[in-house]
């Protein structure tokens, strides 16, 4: 019993750290106007999850494989064709869901789509910690180039920013963030905690530094609220759906509060 309790503590800590990294990656994604593209990235994990479950191997390994392959594919399609992001979204979104739904065992499909808050091993916990630290440090390392690109891509190139490499790196960081939150939020909802807190934070601040921190704090508050509600109020509902409902309610509140 004690070991299981410790494993749940690992899950709680990792969920909170995921929220912080999701808030950070979401703020950059909103500024780059690629939140919807990022949502598609999260769905790329579903086929990998399904195949891994069929083969009886760790589902996260399968999710990692298809996430990373899909990330490179999206980046390459944009680079080679010059197509707008929204033109790629429909095809990738539909294909990923269709393939994933076909290959994922029916008894595992709900957890794959919406997540399942469960105890994790020490190894998984440590791997998650490393991933979150890597995401956070990488984002602050990329911050200057990303901000420069927002103002002028030509100026960014002149100052030495390699746009293609930077975009691919950022997509990988987005995918890694989704991967950390996959077990809690599922493939359908993992990107929601990246999208919603950033959208809420943007409504309350125009200062870039505040925007990063506010987005992370809002994301963290949503996860904490989700943990409390699922434990004390609606234990039969998953952490993912409850957290997204709380974040959605917070966004609607921000909309109406700004109007008043």
Least confident of 47-51, 76-80, 192-196: 76-80
Q: Determine what percent of the chain is predicted with pLDDT higher than 90.
A: 15
More confident residue, 30 or 152: 30
- Model pTM score: 0.84
Nearest CA to 52 out of 191, 226, 208, 179 is that of 179
Domain count, the chain: 1
Nearest CA to 247 out of 217, 222, 221 is that of 222
Q: Which domain holds residue 127?
A: 2-259
Q: What is the pLDDT of residues 190-224, one digit of tens each?
A: 888 888 898 898 888 777 778 888 999 999 999 99
Instruction: Give the CATH number of the domain where residue 171 resides.
Output: 1.10.3470.10
Nearest CA to 24 out of 162, 219, 189 is that of 219
Rounded CA gap, 38 and 25, in Å?
10
Rounded CA gap, 176 and 155, in Å?
29
């Amino acid at each position: 019993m004690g070991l299981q309790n410790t494993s749940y503590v690992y899950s709680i800590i990792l969920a909170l750290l995921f929220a912080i990294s999701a808030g950070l990656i979401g703020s950059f994604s909103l500024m780059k106007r690629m939140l919807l593209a990022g949502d598609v990235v999260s769905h790329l994990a579903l086929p990998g999850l399904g195949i891994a479950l069929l083969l009886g191997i760790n589902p996260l390994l399968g999710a990692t494989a298809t996430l990373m392959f899909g990330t490179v594919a999206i980046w390459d399609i944009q680079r080679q064709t010059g197509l707008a992001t929204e033109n790629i979204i429909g095809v990738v979104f539909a294909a990923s869901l269709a393939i994933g739904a076909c290959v994922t065992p029916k008894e595992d499909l709900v957890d794959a789509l919406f997540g399942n808050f469960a105890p994790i091993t020490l190894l998984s916990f440590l791997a998650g910690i490393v991933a979150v630290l890597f995401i956070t440090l990488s984002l602050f390392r990329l911050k200057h180039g990303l901000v420069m690109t927002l103002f002028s891509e030509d100026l960014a190139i002149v100052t030495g920013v390699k746009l293609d490499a930077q975009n691919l790196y950022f997509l990988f960081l987005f995918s890694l963030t989704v991967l950390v939150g996959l077990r809690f939020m599922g493939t359908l909802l993992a990107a929601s905690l990246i999208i919603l807190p950033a959208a809420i934070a943007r409504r309350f601040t125009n200062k870039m530094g505040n925007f990063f921190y506010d987005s992370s704090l809002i994301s963290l508050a949503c996860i904490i609220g989700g943990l409390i509600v699922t434990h004390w109020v609606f234990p039969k509902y998953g952490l993912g759906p409850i957290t997204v409902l709380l974040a959605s309610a917070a966004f609607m509140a921000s909309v109406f509060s700004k109007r008043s």
